[in-house]
Amino acid sequence: MRVVVTGAAGQLGKDVLRELASRNHHAFGADRGQLDITIEEDVRSYISEIKPDVILHCAAYTNVDAAETDEETAYRINASGTENLAKAAKQVGAKLLYVSTDYVFDGTASEPYETDQPTSPLGAYGRTKLAGEQLLQKHLDRFFIVRTAWVFGIYGNNFVKTMIRLGKERGEVGVVHDQVGSPTYTVDLAKFMVELMETEKYGIYHATNGGVCSWYEFAVEIFKQAGLDVTVNPLTTDQFPRPAKRPAYSVLSKKKIEEQGLTPLRDWKEALAAYLQESQ
């Protein structure tokens, strides 16, 4: 298949390109330098020139806190950019897979969120990603929306790298314990995305690694697996204020992956071990 990957230089995009290569797909990596997704004309001409079978849309404005003061830019990239790609995909008859987020939910649930549960974002980032979902669905019938969470991989800045760096520098860290979710290793997410795009099983999916933890528990496990002796102090969200409000509970139900006969992502602790091995 001919596959365009947006956000190709990003943490997820790079692993998606690797996975496509390993499955013998013809990949076209488009980063901001090759394609500005906010310019409709550019998107149309790029997509009509390549005529991909699939667009894997990994490009996003992901700075959750900065989005609070610059929602306009976040909207332009996450919502308008996605709409531009959806229109272009329709023109050439391509499937479109859009990577979305657990932040479309408000975190007040106590059981994993199903794909069809009502959305209610707390902040600008979640609002703009949800707008992207809605605009995509306005234009396309053949689409995949993959909501994910707590992403980490060797190519980007992420929680695992930050913890290891701070742990080595300080020997002691404070981490919130009252926000619960599921970490996601980009290698595993990329595998799922490529498997999904090869099917006709359209719709909304939730894809994270298996298992549930708080950020505090995640940090404790990181230091344990990395063999670092670091004191981890549990903090409340109130003790660690940020510009953007985070969902307290953002566990996503992966039921649909199993129902559709697709391969579930492994447990997050196994994924963390694989990441630490890969990053050595």
The residues assigned a catalytic role are 125
**Alpha-carbon distance 40 to 232, whole Å?**
47
* Residue 139 near residue 105, CB atoms below 8 Å: no
Match 């492994």 to its residue by tokens: 266
At residue 98, φ and ψ (nearest 5 deg) are -110, 125
Quick one: which of 148, 135, 34, 32 has its CA closest to 75?
A: 135
**Alpha-carbon distance 208 to 192, whole Å?**
10
Q: Which amino acid is at 232?
A: V
Q: What is the radius of gyration, based on Cα positions, of the chain? A: 18
183, burial (CB in 10 Å: exposed 0-12, middle 13-18, buried 19+):
buried
* DSSP H or E stretch at residue 130: helix 124-139
Q: H/E/C letters for each residue in 190-252?
A: HHHHHHHHCCCCCEEEECCCECCEEHHHHHHHHHHHHCCCCEEEEECHHHCCCCCCCCCECCE
Q: Is 278 left (phi over 0), alpha (psi -120 to 50) or beta?
A: alpha
**Alpha-carbon distance 184 to 272, whole Å?**
9
